[in-house]
Amino acid sequence: MGIKELLGINKAKPVEPPKTEEKIEGAEIRPPKIHKKTKVKVDRAALKNLNLVIVAYSHVEREFFPTKESYEAEVEVEDRAAEVVERVKALGIPVKSLMGDQYFLTNLLVDKPDVVINLVDTLRGKDKLQTSVPAALELSNVLYTGSGMEGLVIGNNRNLTKRLLIAYGIPTPAFQFIRRAGTAVNEELGLPLIVKLNESGGSVGIDSKAVKETIKDAQRKVNEMISVYKLPVIVEQFIDGAEITVVVFDDGTRKRVYLGQKVFRNKADGKHFFTSFESYDDIKAYTYKHVEEPLATKISQLATRAFSGLHHKDYAKFDVRVDEETNIPYFTDSNPNTAFGPDMGLPMTEVLAMHGVSFDEVLGALLSKYARQLK
């Protein structure tokens, strides 16, 4: 391993996917079929096997989070869980919600559900603790939706995610992993740059001024974020070009890929198009359009490989930036257990709807997959 790898810097040329059909362990190479409208598999007979479904959600209190911004990014989960409960009821399945707190395992053992829909993003405000939920479910031998412990550990660590993407031949922007405030930003990364928390999802810390045009400004942002959030950061080369939301959904028959290219109304900072924290409060910040071929097929092939290689399960969302000069799609973020619910403001739900797939169909297909496993 070279000195740049040891420092957490990826400055190599873009990594292209393998051009041969060799097998990569844990990865699916076969190109997925892409449809603008496709039905997922819902097994109505299997759904009758379900006697109780529990919707687990995060316990969110303001005191758990270092900033109001990070609290607001998570507080919506209880309302979203209530919406999912209502949709499960509409399928004719007994259902209840359960908070993911210190009593979760005890309540789980009392309720004895057939399947748990896992919407827990944080425990006591920490993303890295969410692995406690699949751990408790596996300990209790209860079926659950979403990624397991391994997939969540990987997905909640941008540094680890990006290193695995490189290992699987999936382009990701040049980056530097920084643990301590004051660590110098490497000038070889180039400009512009964007600074992200290593262990937090969503757009926490990504405001409308997130893209930095100088090393000095990037350095200031690094020091500020580490000091405020007490977490390491990733300094990443910002890729100017199209921003694409990629959803992978495994309905038990195959992994289906759905793409939506964001069409922004305005440049967040007057110079670059990107999704900022402020955009979540503006329903007109962007719309989606279909991704054209051959780019759609290329991204879909990479996404199925990333989904398997990062040990995601059931569903996940990837953020991709397409370089406007080279047309190379760079995978910037991976979101296992991305926000799951019927609200059309959620990226996964909105992109699926654009492809003619409703949330109720996805929910039915997801529960069908696990209902078929019940004796």
Residue reference for tokens 């097929």: 297
Q: How confident is the model at residue 205 (pLDDT cuts 50, 70, 90)?
A: confident
pLDDT per residue as tens digits for the range 269-321: 888 888 876 666 667 789 999 999 999 999 999 999 999 999 999 999 999 99
What is residue 38's predicted lDDT score, i.e. its pLDDT? 64
Q: Report pLDDT digits (tens) over 210-246.
A: 899 999 999 999 999 999 999 999 999 999 999 999 9
The rounded distance, in Å, linking the Cα atoms of 65 and 125 is 5
- Residue 12: is its pLDDT beyond 70? no
Side chain identity, residue 82: A
Q: Which residues contact 355 (CB under 8 A, 6 or more apart)?
A: 35, 36, 37, 38, 258
First to last CA, the chain: 49
Chain mean position to CA 112:
29
Share of the chain above pLDDT 90, in %: 67
Residues 53, 93 contacting (CB under 8 angstroms): yes
The predicted structure's pLDDT at residue 18: 39
Q: CA 205 to CA 208: how far, in whole Å?
A: 10
**What local confidence, expressed as pLDDT, does residue 241 receive?**
95
Confidence of residue 152 (pLDDT cuts 50, 70, 90): very high
Please state, in angstroms and rounded to a whole number, the distance separating the CA atoms of residues 21 and 23.
Answer: 6
Task: Name the phi and psi angles at 81, rounded to 5.
Answer: -65, -40
Tell me the three state secondary structure of residue 63: helix
- Cα–Cα distance measured from residue 188 to residue 195, given in angstroms and rounded to the nearest whole number: 15
- Residue 194: how many CB atoms within 10 A of its CB? 22
If one compares 242 and 22, the residue with the highest pLDDT of the two is 242
Strands (E) across 72-114 are located at 95-100
How many residues belong to the chain?
375
What is the per-residue pLDDT across 65-114, written as a single tens digit (0 to 9) for each? 777 777 776 778 888 999 999 999 999 999 999 998 888 999 999 999 99
- Whether the per-residue pLDDT at 17 is higher than 50: the answer is no
Which pLDDT belongs to residue 282? 67
Whole-angstrom distance, CA of residue 49 vs CA of residue 45: 8
Model confidence over 256-279: pLDDT tens digits? Answer: 999 999 999 888 888 888 887 666
201: left (phi over 0), alpha (psi -120 to 50) or beta: beta
Q: How far apart are CA 152 and CA 336, in angstroms?
A: 7
Q: Pick the more confident residue, 373 or 202.
A: 373
> Where is 360: in which H helix or E strand?
helix 359-371
35 vs 311: which has the higher pLDDT? 311
Domains assigned to the chain = 44-146 (3.40.50.20), 154-336 (3.30.470.20)
Q: Is the pLDDT of residue 3 over 80?
A: no
Predicted confidence at residue 4, as pLDDT, reads 43
